[in-house]
Amino acid sequence: MKFSLGPSLFFWPKADVEAYYHQARHSSADVIYLGETVCSKRRELGIKDWLNVAKELAQSNKQVVISTMTLLEAPAEINSMKKLCDNGDFLIEANDLSAVNIMHALKLPFVAGPSINCYNLSSLKVLMKQGMIRWVMPVELSGDWLKKLLQEAEQAGIRNQFECEVFAWGYLPLAYSARCFTARAENRSKDDCRYVCINYPQGIKMNSREGERVFMLNGIQTLSGYQYNLINDVHDMQVAGVDLVRISADSTDAFQQMARFQQQLIKPVHYPLDRSNECNGYWHQIPGMSIA
Amino acid sequence: MELLCPAGNLPALKTAIDNGADAVYIGMKNDTNARHFAGLNFNDAKLAKGADYVHQHGKKLHVAINTFAHPGDEGRWRRAVDDAVAIGCDALIIADLGVLDYAASRYPDVERHVSVQASTTNLEAIRFFHNNFNVARVVLPRVLSIQQVKQLTSHTPVPLEVFAFGSLCIMSEGRCYLSSYMTGESPNTAGACSPAKYVRWQETEQGLESRLNNVLIDRYQPNENAGYPTLCKGRFEVNDNIYHALEEPTSLNTLELIPQLSKMGIASVKIEGRQRSPAYVEQVTHTWRAALDRYQAAPEQYQAEPRWMETLANLSEGSQTTLGAYHRKWQ
């Protein structure tokens, strides 16, 4: 099993991003995803900057993947994405079917990211025909769902034609809207957001009126309030046939988490999860925010 | 522009047709559609009756098969397609890539519409569906501004349908897992958002409380109207403020956009609400028919009448309506 660092979902200053990936270079990740997936107004790094970061990372013998935007509306957003897709060097994670269409036209392989709705074997086949070589399971699906699907792929004789990746640690990307909730929290509209996301490098907590952490606001994206943590399910993932385990780049903590996850393959330890900050429900087919 | 109305049962379907719908959309009595609610939708016999009624009146029937097929059980979604075709449906509304693939290869002559649950928000994604499944229509999610819709209509190879009225989904549909995060069931997998079986109401000293799977969604003072606890429409605490952090309980109403939508070439305006009563269907269909006919008769003079707006507001969540994402300031 390999371990990947997912794209950072937050908006950080350029220097922080560069410092983060400098550290990532020396991390134990086999695969590193990077790029802006949430909001096209976040331009601390332009296309060239991201590609420069990618080139540096590639020197350290890691597979580097450029992740693309999830909710694309304007033609300008599509045009920028086309440039990323046609970068000539790096594999692309498609997070919208628009990217799939572009990659197919370019005749280039791609990773189907977690926000592409691929829930079953027939859908996998459709995407493989387009050039998909790796499938990241939608975050709301369970271990049982995955096992059934991979068994079907096995029976169909196509299991060896794609890799399977599971989002296993970090704040879960749950929803995307036209509205910017971070701007709304500051009484602004999206057009006048003044890039306030940069003031919230870990998102904004959204609690119930009883103080229960429900969600995390991250611009137009809504994240889980708790950090997803499948640290106790590494063996189960391995048995299920998962090829890559994804650790989300929430913060520098991700690097320690990755090392812990990798250690589970060598010397498994049971970690009690913190109910006020963690969850693992989706994998166990119960509400996502719960702990099994 | 086609007026496409919802029907959760046979009386609602007849009401929609009788009040001027050009087409009606329905779902089957199982989790193959995104309004899988108890007591709602059509079994085989009702499906056939509904199709007959629609066709006798020279109108069209669209069948929504727009959840995502479960592994090991894809046959059920395919059977839903077979059954819809067997009763002579005019269009299949589909979100799942695998189901679309099946429908396109098995029934190439039956129109395929890309469901709103497929989150198709840009030209390149529309082209994907056009190239791969030769679809006849794409239903746009409620996340685009009117300018963005206009831009799409001038380049799209596929006719477009937009949501015109009804409960406002503020997330890109098909890409919202908030409901499964809280309850384990989402529109994609179970065909329902914030399912009723997880709702609990409780009178407390602080006021009437609504909960979804035990999470407090809202708390009402005696002078406030309590609404269904759809989880994105509750009041939450953010940065020490308590407010509707995602959205107020409100409905989308685009009656005043009819001229713009028509001029840009929108193929169909869709009314949300398969879960609503025949009385709702009657009033909304009646009002929208009147507005579309008025526009047709004298496009330059068209204005949304205050009494239409009032009728629609009374049928809306929290008696409020909004232009939603169509209006950029909302975003």
Residues present in chain A in total: 292
ipTM surpasses cut 0.95: yes
Q: How many angstroms separate the CA atoms of A103 and B160, rounded? A: 24
- Asked if the C-beta of B172 comes within 8 angstroms of chain A's C-beta atoms, the answer is yes
Interface of B with A in 30-69 (CB under 8 A): 68-69
Q: How many angstroms separate the CA atoms of B182 and B194, rounded? A: 8
Q: How many angstroms separate the CA atoms of B126 and B114, rounded? A: 9
- The answer on whether A164 is annotated among ligand-binding residues is no
Note the helical H segments in B19-170.
44-56, 74-86, 97-106, 123-133, 146-155
Cα radius of gyration rounded to whole Å, chain A: 18
Q: Please give the C-alpha separations between residue A52 and each of A10, B123, B188, in angstroms, as whole numbers.
A: 19, 29, 38
**What distance in Å separates residue A56's CA from the closest CA in chain B?**
31
Q: How many angstroms separate the CA atoms of A254 and B200, rounded? A: 38
Q: Per 3-state DSSP, what percentage of chain A is helix, strand, and coil (rounded to 5)?
A: 40, 20, 40
Q: Is the pLDDT of residue B203 over 80?
A: yes
Q: What is the mean pLDDT of residues B113-138?
A: 98
- Domain range summary for chain B, segments of one domain joined by +: 2-168+250-330, 178-243
Q: Is the pLDDT of residue A231 over 90?
A: yes
Residues 6+ apart with CB under 8 A from B189: A119, A140, A141, B67, B68, B70, B180
Q: What is the mean pLDDT of residues B192-216?
A: 96
Q: How many angstroms separate the CA atoms of A135 and A237, rounded? A: 15
Chain A residue nearest residue B132, CA to CA: A126
Asked if residue A285 belongs to a domain, the reply is no
Q: Please give the C-alpha separations between residue A21 and each of A60, A105, A247, B168, B317, in angstroms, as whole numbers.
A: 11, 31, 14, 40, 47
User: What is the CATH number for A69?
Assistant: 3.20.20.70
Q: How many angstroms separate the CA atoms of B251 and B257, rounded? A: 15
Tally of domains within chain A: 1
- Are A45 and A14 contacting, i.e. CB atoms less than 8 angstroms apart? yes
Q: In this complex, which of B98, B101, B181 lies closest to A289 when CB atoms are compared?
A: B181
Q: What is the mean pLDDT of residues B12-29?
A: 97
pLDDT digit string, tens, across residues A104-138: 999 999 999 999 999 999 999 999 999 999 999 99
pLDDT attached to residue B58: 98
Domain that holds residue A98: 2-176+231-272
CATH assignment, B2-168+250-330: 3.20.20.60
Asked if residue A280 belongs to a domain, the reply is no
Asked if residue A160 belongs to a domain, the reply is yes
pLDDT attached to residue B319: 76
Asked if residue A253 belongs to a domain, the reply is yes
pLDDT attached to residue B317: 80
Inter-chain contact B143–A177, Cβ cutoff 8 Å? yes
Q: Is the pLDDT of residue B318 over 80?
A: no
Cα radius of gyration rounded to whole Å, chain B: 19
pLDDT attached to residue B54: 98
Per residue, what are the HEC states of A83-141? HHHCCCCCEEEECCHHHHHHHHHHCCCEEECCCCCCCCHHHHHHHHHHCEEEEECCCCC
pLDDT digit string, tens, across residues B242-281: 999 999 988 999 999 999 999 999 999 999 999 999 999 9
Give me the residues paired with residue B237 across strands: A207, B242
Best probe of the A interface among B94, B124, B322, by most A CBs < 10 A, is B124
